[in-house]
Amino acid sequence: MLAYNRQDFIRRMPEASHDLRRRRSFWRVVHLDPILLLLLLALTTFGLVVLYSASEGNSSLIKRQVVFFTIAYIGMFTVAQIRLDYFSRWSVLFYLGALGLLVLVLFFGVGAKGAQRWLSLGSIRFQPSEMMKLAMPIAIAAYLSNKSLPPRFKHVFWSLVLVAMPTVLIVKQPDLGTSILVAISGLVVLFYAGLRWRYILSAVVLLVASIWPMWHYVLHDYQRRRILTLFDPEADKLGAGWNIIQSKTAIGSGGVDGKGWLDGTQSHLDFLPESHTDFIIAVLAEEFGFMGVLGLIVLYLLIISRGLFIAINAQDSFRRLLAGSITLTFFVYVFVNIGMVSGLLPVVGVPLPLVSLGGTSLVTLMLGFGLLMGISTEPPRITHNR
Amino acid sequence: MQEHQHFKNYHIESRTFTGRVLLTSILILGLTAVLLYRYYSLQVINHEDYATQSDNNRILVQTISPQRGLIFDADGKLLADNRPSYILSLVPENIRNIDKTIELLRTLVTVNDSHVDDFYKSLKANRRPYQAIPLRFRLTEEEIAKIAVNEYRLDGVEVQAKLVRHYPAGALFAHSIGYVGKINDREWNNFDEEQIKRYQGVHTIGKIGLEKSYEDILFGEVGYRNVEVNARIRVLRTLEQQNPIQGKDLQLHIDSYLQQVAVDALGDRRGAVVAIDVETGGVLSIVSSPSYDPNLFVTGISHKNYNALRNSLDIPLFDRALQGRYPPASTVKPMMGLAGLSEKVISRSYKIFDPGYYQLENDNRLYRDWKRTGHGIVNVHKAIVQSSDTFFYDLAFRMGVDRIHNFGSQFGLGEKTGIDLPSERRGLWPSREWKKQTQRLPWFPGDTINLGIGQGYALATPLQLATMVTTIANRGKHLQPQVVKSVDGELLPPKIINQIETDDRYWDHIFKAMKDVMHASNGTARRAGSKSSYLMAGKTGTAQVVGIKQNEKYDSEALKERHRDHALFVGFAPLDNPKIAVSVIVENGESGSGTAAPIARKMFDAHLLHKKPTQQTTVKLASNILKYRSADSDSQSPLVELGPRSAD
């Protein structure tokens, strides 16, 4: 408990004039990062525009998404108000709570297509794996920030145990895509904590060595098919290859400036599957062309840059690691989704962050951005790690 | 709890972190570049390919079938039209279980095993995906209603209104107009690319008769429609449309009335009648009896009906007029007489004594005359009027086969007439070369003698005989017989094949002889020619079906009906200004004068004496029908949907 008490000795410096100015600023009072907020608003608005087209102007669907956005923004705002110390202090509880729910999913989960991913509480359904996406980096960041960094073997080991437990549970659902993303959100913390290169190298070697047993013993048939489809979508034109052929056709036919909003034929004539969820970028690419894709990617890059900027300027290791992990995981989502829809990566169920239809992932992401905002707007303290 | 033992170096931690962030930033930029390149490659470099693919996805080319041209008789009477008929068809791609759907349909409408067999045959045949396959034709109103009520459990089942060929006169024109029928596998396989496109939406093609020979003209040109479809091939809208060019209408020389007269005159006898307009070569009537209803074939004939037609001893499917080959017998005698005169083998006054038989020197064989007592002193005129065989045995022997062959060929004997109907047979007008090639035997004098009376090897179709007598009536102008008078109102000119040059006096002489066949007191067809208000010319013939052995007495009573002689007649009328030439063959009719000649007389009377509506009313009638049709042919007509409705 000594570690937590350390903050009691932090002395504030009210006499520093620039700090005074910043303290008075409106944004500091509301605990919002204006640049990040602006970028997020731009992205979510653009997302709604695309979603409107993808859903064939289904206004009830758009209304629902707007409700989700509202909830998500409120959640973000709320989280931003909470002092970061609380997260670090209660990290163990978050983690154990999320882990417990994941265990419950194995027994009481509901879902479709042979996967149990959801917990149902009355009318509310949610995915505990989504909660783990936040609980994991908080837990590991909290754990490691107490230790002297770079982490020693023992701490690396325990961190890996923390990563492994939920990952295995999610794989069991089965939901390979989410499990990898959850694992990444934890591993990124280790990396940012300064994980030694020799560990990283041996991990890479281990990973390569495990490809063969993974392929034969861990992956399900449909997962193997998806990966094979990546290399040769034409082999099963109407089956597994259909999605990817149609999305590539949608993207490619968009050309430089697209077919125009609401004029995408691939999406509007139902050739493109999952057009308002995972494959929504194909709709964007078809209707807004390469310029639209470029715009979207630039927007994502700006958000990520801002996240990394906040991380670098954060006040201590916990905040740094957390902010870094949230930001980098966000990029991974973006990369995996955009890559899979264009046929670069196998099709795993990863939505396009903040654009695809869907409540749970949206809320989780925005809560993550809430944490970033909190980190960015916390009153400065005299710390040793400046 | 023991963590405080390791002192944290906050400065180093911060620096490590910043370093790692920089590293990940580079990684992020690199991966983003990969993504951007990927999209650049799809959207800019390979844009054309994907744009094409996207269009191929959504744009379907449908053919719009033109409406088949109508067929009218000489008076503008409609002989072949297109009528809407409701067809029950299935789109296999939209059906989960075809067997079950058919079972269900069987409980609603009449579907028998042959319908199902045909359906599965079509299913296996060449077809585009999502193209409906017909199961039942000619649905009744009640059946349509039953299907409509059960629509919710009949996914992929549709009722289409389609134009189906209809022949209002039924059996009257089965052989001449023919019929359209379902395109079979063999036909599909022989189609070229263009034809496959053309027939995709039609399913039927002219099989025999004019429907076959004028297929291209009657068909018109297919139109195309580019439609936008969704992933379930539901048609959403038409992007582009090229209208079909409707098939052209045919007007025939054939006169329905005359055709009916010929059919009635033949009654239930087997035979053929061909009547030709002497001036143009137009076929006024062409009948093969017995006939059948061509409408049976249009939507696919049932096995039962087909077998009944095919197995009938009377072979109704056989077109006797074009394909029946009969010994021309005495009907060639006027031509032979003319040949003798014009080759100067005989003169008009040349006489022989006919003892009732003919015999070659140094040969025992007797060539008998049909009249055992003989005709006494005979010249060419009397030989034709009384049909003396002996005279023509002698003439043939003196003329020789080569000259007979050459002269007869000018009348189209042994050659196809070139009529605008398919499947015509050429008959046989033998020559030395022919016999050498086909029988590997030399030509014997006896062969020539038999040829002189149109027996032996000689064979001719009723159409050839009609062409021959038309050529005589035209004094040597050999016209090609034509069934179609005009295409879309445009007259087809008569085609002259050749002109036989000989002295006019010879023609007069032969005409007179042929007139006396009909009108003289000793003419063989005097009864058929009696009491007429005009003069006619003709020649009877009786063709042996079974060769009669030497010295054997011919006894028609003893012979089975089908071994009796064929009765033949050729002739034309009126004598001075011939308008109509006719050939008649009655199978096993025994006597040309007794059976065949009266039929021809009825034809002459019908053509020359029957009052028909004037030409003016004819034109009006035809144009009325045309107007009715053009209103109907509008593709937007709610009653009739043209072309394939493959998707909904």
DSSP letters of B608-645?
HHS----HHHHHHHHHHHHHHHHHHT-TT-SS---S--
B7, B21, B43: residue with CB nearest A324: B21
pLDDT at A23 over 60: no
**Please, are residues A368 and A324 in contact by the beta-carbon 8 Å criterion?**
no
Average pLDDT for residues B104-133, to the nearest whole number?
Answer: 79
Pick the more confident residue, B547 or A181. A181
Average pLDDT for residues A64-74, to the nearest whole number?
Answer: 92
Nearest Cα residue in chain B from A238: B231
Contact B20 A285 (CB under 8 A): no
Contact A251 B58 (CB under 8 A): no
Q: Is the peptide bond before A150 cis (omega within 30 degrees of 0)?
A: yes
pLDDT at B635 over 50: no
Residue A194, chain B, CB below 8 Å: the answer is yes
Residues in chain B with CB shorter than 8 Å from the CB of A249 are 50, 53-54, 57
Residue A294, chain B, CB below 8 Å: the answer is yes
User: For residue A114, what pLDDT is reported?
Assistant: 61
DSSP annotation of A173 reads T
Query: Which chain A residues in 336-355 lie under 8 Å from chain B, judged by CB atoms?
Result: 338-339, 342-344
Query: Which chain A residues in 195-224 lie under 8 Å from chain B, judged by CB atoms?
Result: none
Give the SS3 label for residue B8. Answer: coil
Confidence category of residue B624, pLDDT binned at 50, 70, 90: very low
B20, B28, B57: residue with CB nearest A191: B20
Residues in chain A with CB shorter than 8 Å from the CB of B28 are 301, 304, 328, 331
Show the tokens assigned to B33: 């570049």
Q: Which of A4, A148, A247, A259 to mutate to test the interface with B (most CBs of B within 10 A)?
A: A148
Give strand pairing partners of B206.
Answer: B180
pLDDT at B407 over 90: yes
- Cα–Cα distances (Å) from A357 to A61, A303, B423, in that order, read 9, 20, 70
> What distance in Å separates the CA atoms of residue B460 and residue B324, rounded to the nearest whole number?
8
User: For residue B642, what pLDDT is reported?
Assistant: 34
Contact B228 A269 (CB under 8 A): yes
The H or E element containing residue B600 is helix B597-609
**Please, are residues A310 and A39 in contact by the beta-carbon 8 Å criterion?**
no
Number of H helices, E strands in chain A: 17, 2
Nearest to B201 by CA among B83, B68, B110: B68
Contact A342 B13 (CB under 8 A): no
Contact B231 A149 (CB under 8 A): no
Contact B35 A297 (CB under 8 A): yes
**Please, are residues B161 and B109 in contact by the beta-carbon 8 Å criterion?**
no
Contact B28 A270 (CB under 8 A): no
Lowest mean pLDDT among A242-251, B347-356, B526-535: A242-251
Question: Annotated catalytic sites of B, by residue?
Answer: 330
Lowest mean pLDDT among A141-155, B138-152, B548-562: B548-562
User: For residue B546, what pLDDT is reported?
Assistant: 61
**Please, are residues B548 and B554 in contact by the beta-carbon 8 Å criterion?**
yes
The burial class, CB within 10 Å (0-12 / 13-18 / 19+), for B130 is buried
Starting at the edge strand that comes first in sequence, how are the strands of the sheet with B537-543 ordered?
A: B283-289, B271-277, B580-586, B566-573, B537-543
Nearest Cα residue in chain B from A340: B35
A252, A271, A321: residue with CB nearest B50: A252
DSSP notation for A346-357: -----PPTTTSS
Contacts of A123 (CB under 8 A, 6+ apart): none
User: For residue B502, what pLDDT is reported?
Assistant: 92
Query: Which chain B residues in 222-241 lie under 8 Å from chain A, judged by CB atoms?
Result: 228-232, 236
Nearest Cα residue in chain A from B232: A270
Residues in chain A with CB shorter than 8 Å from the CB of B647 are none
Average pLDDT for residues B600-621, to the nearest whole number?
Answer: 70
Number of H helices, E strands in chain B: 24, 23
Nearest Cα residue in chain A from B20: A192
pLDDT at B95 over 90: no
ipTM over 0.95: no
DSSP annotation of B560 reads -
Contact A252 B12 (CB under 8 A): no
The burial class, CB within 10 Å (0-12 / 13-18 / 19+), for B366 is middle
Residue A254, chain B, CB below 8 Å: the answer is yes
**Please, are residues B411 and B467 in contact by the beta-carbon 8 Å criterion?**
yes
Lowest mean pLDDT among A263-267, A296-300, B243-247, B395-399: A263-267
- Letter for the amino acid at A3? A
Residue A260, chain B, CB below 8 Å: the answer is no
Contact A266 B51 (CB under 8 A): no
Contacts of A332 (CB under 8 A, 6+ apart): A181, A184
Show the tokens assigned to B258: 């005359």
Q: What is the pTM of this model?
A: 0.68
**Please, are residues A141 and A189 in contact by the beta-carbon 8 Å criterion?**
yes
pLDDT at B153 over 90: no
Average pLDDT for residues B512-522, to the nearest whole number?
Answer: 94
A146, A254, A304: residue with CB nearest B28: A304
Query: Which chain A residues in 129-168 lie under 8 Å from chain B, judged by CB atoms?
Result: 146-150
Residues in chain B with CB shorter than 8 Å from the CB of A344 are 34-35, 38
Q: Which of B26, B41, B43 to mutate to test the interface with A (most CBs of A within 10 A)?
A: B43
Confidence category of residue B304, pLDDT binned at 50, 70, 90: confident
Query: Which chain A residues in 29-58 lie under 8 Å from chain B, judged by CB atoms?
Result: none
pLDDT at A128 over 90: no
User: For residue A267, what pLDDT is reported?
Assistant: 81
Contact B28 A338 (CB under 8 A): no
**Please, are residues B440 and B469 in contact by the beta-carbon 8 Å criterion?**
no
- Letter for the amino acid at A130? E
Give strand pairing partners of B580.
Answer: B277, B573
A192, A254, A297: residue with CB nearest B36: A297
Nearest to B236 by CA among B58, B62, B95, B57: B58
B35, B49, B230: residue with CB nearest A338: B35
Strand positions, DSSP E, A22-93 = none
Q: Which of B13, B45, B93, B236 to mutate to test the interface with A (most CBs of A within 10 A)?
A: B13
> What distance in Å separates the CA atoms of residue A328 and residue B21, rounded to the nearest whole number?
9
Residues in chain A with CB shorter than 8 Å from the CB of B53 are 249, 252-253
How many beta-carbon pairs under 8 angstroms link A with B? 160
Give the SS3 label for residue B63. Answer: strand
Give the SS3 label for residue B520. Answer: coil
Average pLDDT for residues A233-254, to the nearest whole number?
Answer: 79
User: For residue B312, what pLDDT is reported?
Assistant: 85
Nearest to B131 by CA among B201, B61, B59: B201
pLDDT at A239 over 70: no
Neighbours of B188 (CB within 10 A): 15
User: For residue B39, what pLDDT is reported?
Assistant: 94
Contact B17 A311 (CB under 8 A): yes
User: How distant is the Cα of A66 from the closest Cα of chain B, in angstroms?
Assistant: 29
End-to-end CA distance of chain B: 75
pLDDT at B647 over 50: no
Contact A385 B10 (CB under 8 A): yes
**Please, are residues B132 and B235 in contact by the beta-carbon 8 Å criterion?**
no
Mean per-residue pLDDT of chain B: 85
User: For residue B612, what pLDDT is reported?
Assistant: 61
| Residue with token string 């963590």 | B3
Pick the more confident residue, B552 or B481. B481
User: How distant is the Cα of A298 from the closest Cα of chain B, in angstroms?
Assistant: 9
B4, B13, B31: residue with CB nearest A385: B13
Residues in chain A with CB shorter than 8 Å from the CB of B22 are none
State pLDDT tens for residues A71-98.
999 999 999 999 888 998 999 999 999 9
- Cα–Cα distances (Å) from A225 to A18, A146, A346, in that order, read 59, 44, 9
Query: Which chain A residues in 320-339 lie under 8 Å from chain B, judged by CB atoms?
Result: 320-321, 324, 328, 331, 335, 338-339
Q: For helices A221-231 and A240-254, what crossing angle results, to 10°?
A: 40
Confidence category of residue B270, pLDDT binned at 50, 70, 90: very high
Give strand pairing partners of B83.
Answer: B164
Residues in chain A with CB shorter than 8 Å from the CB of B229 are 269
3-state secondary structure string, B404-467?
HHHHHHCCCCCCCCCCCCCCCCCCECCCHHHHHHHHCCCCCHHHHHHHHCCCCCCEECHHHHHH
Q: Is the peptide bond before A380 cis (omega within 30 degrees of 0)?
A: no
Neighbours of A378 (CB within 10 A): 17
**Please, are residues A39 and A298 in contact by the beta-carbon 8 Å criterion?**
no
Residue A304, chain B, CB below 8 Å: the answer is yes
User: How distant is the Cα of B56 from the closest Cα of chain A, in angstroms?
Assistant: 11
Nearest to B156 by CA among B83, B80, B234, B81: B234
Contact B44 A192 (CB under 8 A): no
Residue A271, chain B, CB below 8 Å: the answer is yes
Contact A146 B3 (CB under 8 A): yes
Show the tokens assigned to B243: 């209208």
